[in-house]
């Protein structure tokens, strides 16, 4: 079934995306006149090498000018190539690799022979599986260039910290691989998290408007009310969504919510209500529903979005508990927190909105790639704790708070030892985590 899925979808993709591929090829040719495609030797299933197809996103002979890895500020990447890489458009030609059977849609990303030679005997087990265009590791390491930014030795950092984590994730995937999981990985690869939040908010706001009409009609559905409801959906919901985006309500995880964020949600909906009232008066009822419906919709929307986030918070707490059971600004001290779980976010909240606090949290660092690139409480989860070894981050922080649960005390001690190498001040968020000098 996996191979049939690959053949059918790769064929459809090559046909449907042909105009897009043609435009990209034309853009590359017009930019510098060099070759459109870049072919690189990668190690595939059972250690057999093949050439992977990509749209060229770097200058000519880039492989002779540096490492196979690229950091965010790598000068070899062309302006057009930077755009292609951001949206993964440079990977589109790999549909051909999938069609001929060298790759699959979902599977461990193929590495260059240079790095496969560094695999341990245990890690080489991953070569039993057919490589893919995307996988869990690719999805979670989607900002890998930013992770490598500021490394003193990019290649050593990648081999020591990034590659083992990728292989671990891929082995986890291989043990549970099925078509449904593949489809979910593809959806997550194509649809960023903020798009899911936008869809959830849109659904909640549309339902709130529908409920407002039901209340106004005493729960008797009429043809006129239904037509009005459908007519006013874009005029009511679109301003609400735009103002929510403006107030930054799509940047963070739904399951992290504070009083400050709830105030921002209420403010966005209040501004939307003011705009709706203006439209009502200006258009005489053509661009906005009656005042009674607008007021009821405002109250229901506030309750719906607040309930959505609080419900997501409760779900996160429940699943976090299960996982745990199974396993500077203004002259303030700039703090990095290792651990974006309950303890870490609680430590961050001690500094949020407290003018008396002497610290400002500038970022979370966590071992779990699933929380990277998110923003709990508006604070970015940058990447793995080892990123703190990079010079770029050493210059931006003054103190590291290790906020790992008690069952991760061994990892906490190792991190503290590691951070001593770069002379960062280290403290613990829990007295139950003791560090032996």
pLDDT tens, residue by residue, 385-432: 988 888 777 778 888 999 998 888 888 888 887 887 777 788 887 534
pLDDT of residue 297: 95
Q: Name which residue leads in pLDDT, 262 or 278.
A: 278
241 is written with which tokens?
A: 């969504």
Scanning 75-192, the segments in alpha helix (DSSP H) are 79-86, 94-99, 113-116, 136-140, 144-148, 154-157, 163-174, 179-190
150 band by pLDDT with thresholds 50, 70 and 90: low
- Separation between Cα atoms, residue 63 and residue 108, nearest integer Å: 23
* Domain-wise residue ranges, the chain: 2-190, 193-314, 328-428
- Separation between Cα atoms, residue 106 and residue 103, nearest integer Å: 8
pLDDT of residue 5: 92
pLDDT of residue 410: 85
34 band by pLDDT with thresholds 50, 70 and 90: confident
Q: Name which residue leads in pLDDT, 142 or 164.
A: 164
Nearest Cα residue to 342 out of 407, 261, 265, 418: 407
pLDDT of residue 327: 44
What average pLDDT does this structure show over 8-17?
A: 95
The lowest-confidence range among 147-156, 303-312, 364-373 is 147-156
Three-class SS state of 428: strand
The answer, yes or no, to whether residue 321 has pLDDT greater than 60, is no
**Percentage above 70 pLDDT, the chain:** 90
pLDDT tens for 161-181 read: 888 888 988 888 888 888 888
What average pLDDT does this structure show over 357-370?
A: 84
- Separation between Cα atoms, residue 261 and residue 95, nearest integer Å: 42
pLDDT of residue 103: 95
Identify the CATH assignment for 328-428 out of 3.40.50.300, 3.40.50.720, 3.10.129.10, 2.102.10.10. Answer: 3.40.50.720
Handedness of CA 133, 134, 135, 140 (dihedral sign): positive
What pTM, to 2 d.p., does this model score?
0.65
CB 20 within 8 A of CB 80: no
CB 292 within 8 A of CB 216: yes
- Separation between Cα atoms, residue 437 and residue 434, nearest integer Å: 10
322 is written with which tokens?
A: 């299960």
pLDDT tens for 226-242 read: 899 999 999 999 999 99
Q: Spell out the residues 6+ positions from residue 131 whose beta carbon is closer than 8 angstroms to its own.
A: 42, 44, 45, 102, 103, 104, 107, 108, 109, 110
pLDDT of residue 234: 94
């Amino acid at each position: 079934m996996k191979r049939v899925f690959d053949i059918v979808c790769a064929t459809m993709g090559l046909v449907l995306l042909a105009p897009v591929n043609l435009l990209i090829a034309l853009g590359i040719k017009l930019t510098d006149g060099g070759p459109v495609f870049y072919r690189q030797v990668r190690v595939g299933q059972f250690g057999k090498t093949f050439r992977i197809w990509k749209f060229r996103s770097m200058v000519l002979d880039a492989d002779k000018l540096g490492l196979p890895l690229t950091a965010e500020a790598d000068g070899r990447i062309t302006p057009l190539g930077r755009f292609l890489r951001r949206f993964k458009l440079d990977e589109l030609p790999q549909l051909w690799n999938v069609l001929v059977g060298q790759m699959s849609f979902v599977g461990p990303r193929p590495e260059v022979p240079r790095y496969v030679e560094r695999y341990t005997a245990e890690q080489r087990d991953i070569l039993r599986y057919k490589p893919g265009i995307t996988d869990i590791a690719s999805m979670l390491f989607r900002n890998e260039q930013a992770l490598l930014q500021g490394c003193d030795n990019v290649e050593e950092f990648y081999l020591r910290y990034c590659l083992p984590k990728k292989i671990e994730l891929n082995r986890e995937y291989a043990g549970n691989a099925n078509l449904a999981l593949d489809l979910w990985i593809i959806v997550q690869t194509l649809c960023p998290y903020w798009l899911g939040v936008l869809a959830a908010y849109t659904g909640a706001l549309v339902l709130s408007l529908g409920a407002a009409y039901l209340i106004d009609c005493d729960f008797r559905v009429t043809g006129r009310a239904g037509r009005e409801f459908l007519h006013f959906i874009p005029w009511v919901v679109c301003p609400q969504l735009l103002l929510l985006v403006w107030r930054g309500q799509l940047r963070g995880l739904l399951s992290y919510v504070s009083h400050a964020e709830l105030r921002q949600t209420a403010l966005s909906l209040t501004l939307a209500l003011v705009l709706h009232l203006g439209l009502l008066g200006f258009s005489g009822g053509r661009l906005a529903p009656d005042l009674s419906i607008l007021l009821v919709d405002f109250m229901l929307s506030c309750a719906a979005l607040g309930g959505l986030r609080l419900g997501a918070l409760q779900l996160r707490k429940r699943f976090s508990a299960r996982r745990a059971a199974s396993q500077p600004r203004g002259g303030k001290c700039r703090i990095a927190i290792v651990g974006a779980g309950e303890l870490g976010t609680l430590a961050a909240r001690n500094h949020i909105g407290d003018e008396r606090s002497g610290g400002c949290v500038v970022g979370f660092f966590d071992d779990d790639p699933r929380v990277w690139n998110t923003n709990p409480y508006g604070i970015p989860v940058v990447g793995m704790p080892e990123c703190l070894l990079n010079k770029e981050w050493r210059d931006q922080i003054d103190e590291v708070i290790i906020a790992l649960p008690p069952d991760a005390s061994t990892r906490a001690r190792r991190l503290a030892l590691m951070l001593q190498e770069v002379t960062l001040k280290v403290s613990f968020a829990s007295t139950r985590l003791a560090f032996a000098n």
